[in-house]
A = this chain, B = another copy of it.
Amino acid sequence: MSTKEGPQASRRGPYAKSTERRQAILTAAHAVFAARGYRGGSLQDVADRAGMSQTSLLHYFPSKSQLLLAVLNWRDSITGDGTAPPDPEESLVDAVLRQARFNEDVPGVLELYTVLCGEAVTEGHPGRPYFTNRFEELRRSYTRQLRELAGEGRLRPGVDPEVAAASLIGLWDGIQTQWLLAPDKVDMAGCLRGYLELILLPE
Contacts and interface: CB of A to CB of B under 8 A. Distances in A.
A111 B125 CA distance: 13
A136 to B, nearest CB: 7
Interface of A: 34-41, 111, 114-123, 128, 131-132, 135-136, 139, 156, 158-160, 163-164, 166-167, 169-178, 180-182, 185-187, 190-191, 194-195, 197-199
A72 B173 CA distance: 21
A36 B39 contact: yes
B191 A163 contact: yes
A167 B194 CA distance: 9
Contacts of A135: 178, 181-182
Given A118-B117, A174-B171, A190-B163, A131 B181 contact: yes
Given A36-B39, A37-B119, A172 B169 contact: no
Contact of A118 (B41, B119, B169, B182): B119
Nearest to A163: B194
Nearest to A35: B122
Contacts of A131: 181
